[in-house]
Amino acid sequence: MVSIMIYNDIYMNHLNRVYNFSAGPCTLPMDVLKEIQEDLLSWKGKGMSVMEMSHRSDLFGEILHDATSRLRELLNIPDNYSVFFMQGGASLQFSAIPWSFLSSDGTADYIITGAWGKKAYQEAKLVGNVNCIFDAEKEGYTFCPNLADLQVHSGQDYIHYTSNETIHGVCFHHQRKWDVPVVCDMSSDILSKLFNVEDFDLIYAGAQKNMGPAGATLVIVKDSFLEKAPERTHMMLDYRQMAKHHSMPNTPCTWSIYVCGLVYKWIEKSGGLSEIEKVNKRKASLLYQAIDESGGFYKGHAREDSRSFMNITFTLPDEHKTEKFMMEAKEKGFIEIQGHRSIGGCRLSVYNAFPEKGCELFADFMHEFIKKC
Ligand SMILES: Cc1ncc(COP(=O)(O)O)c(C=O)c1O
pTM for this predicted structure: 0.96
Answer for the pair 336, 349: CB distance below 8 angstroms, yes or no. yes
Please report which confidence band the pLDDT of residue 373 belongs to, taking 50, 70 and 90 as the band edges.
confident
Tens digit of pLDDT for each residue in 210-224? 999 999 999 999 999
CB of 93 sitting under 6 A from ligand 1: no
Backbone φ and ψ for 184, nearest 5 degrees, come out as -135, 130
pLDDT of residue 7: 46
Neighbouring-strand partners of residue 208: none
Q: Whose CA is nearest to atom 1 of ligand 1?
A: 187
pLDDT at 108 over 50: yes
Please report which confidence band the pLDDT of residue 152 belongs to, taking 50, 70 and 90 as the band edges.
confident
Positive or negative: CA dihedral 183, 240, 234, 51: positive
Q: How many other C-beta atoms can be found within 10 angstroms of the C-beta atom of residue 321?
A: 15
Q: In angstroms, rounded to a whole number, what is the distance separating the alpha carbons of residues 19 and 329?
A: 10
Averaged pLDDT, 67-89:
98
Averaged pLDDT, 27-37:
97
Q: Whose CA is nearest to atom 9 of ligand 1?
A: 89
Distance 86 CA to ligand 1 centre (A): 14
Q: How many other C-beta atoms can be found within 10 angstroms of the C-beta atom of residue 367?
A: 14
pLDDT at 101 over 60: yes
Tens digit of pLDDT for each residue in 179-210? 999 999 999 999 999 999 999 999 999 999 99
* Segment holding 86, helix H or strand E: strand 81-86
Please report which confidence band the pLDDT of residue 5 belongs to, taking 50, 70 and 90 as the band edges.
very low
CB of 166 sitting under 6 A from ligand 1: yes
pLDDT of residue 56: 97
Domains of the chain from N-terminus onward: 2-20+271-372 (3.90.1150.10), 39-268 (3.40.640.10)
Please report which confidence band the pLDDT of residue 3 belongs to, taking 50, 70 and 90 as the band edges.
very low
Averaged pLDDT, 278-286:
98
Residues annotated as catalytic (active site), given as ranges: 116, 185, 209
